[in-house]
């Protein structure tokens, strides 16, 4: 199952296949980013070593929202409201 951490995000060691954020933004591929070496060539929510964030996140394909945290709620049909 899916379990968020204490602050409501996917845990920092998340390695599943959720590929959209807590607000429903589609994740952009990690390919070509400085984190690609740790994340691999995919668009799954991750907390790459060295990013220092509070949980798994991803860059989004939305021009106005550069990145967003991921959570279990979105995977189960969360909201699509912008942060």
Nearest to 30 by CA among 52, 61, 5, 70: 61
User: Mind listing the pLDDT tens digit for each residue in 52-65?
Assistant: 999 999 999 999 99
- Residue 74's pLDDT band, with cuts at 50, 70 and 90, is low
User: Mind listing the pLDDT tens digit for each residue in 18-53?
Assistant: 999 999 999 999 999 999 999 999 999 999 987 899
Distance CA 35, CA 1 (A): 26
Q: pTM value?
A: 0.85
Please determine, for residue 81, whether its predicted confidence score (pLDDT) is greater than 50: no
């Amino acid at each position: 199952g899916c379990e968020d951490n204490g602050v409501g995000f996917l845990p920092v060691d998340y390695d599943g296949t959720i590929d959209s954020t807590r607000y429903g933004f589609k994740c952009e591929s990690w390919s070509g980013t400085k984190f690609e070496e740790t994340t691999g060539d995919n668009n799954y929510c991750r907390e790459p070593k060295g990013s220092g964030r509070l949980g798994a996140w991803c860059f989004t394909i939305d021009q106005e929202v550069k990145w967003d945290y991921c959570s279990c709620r979105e995977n189960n049909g969360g909201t699509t409201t912008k942060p």
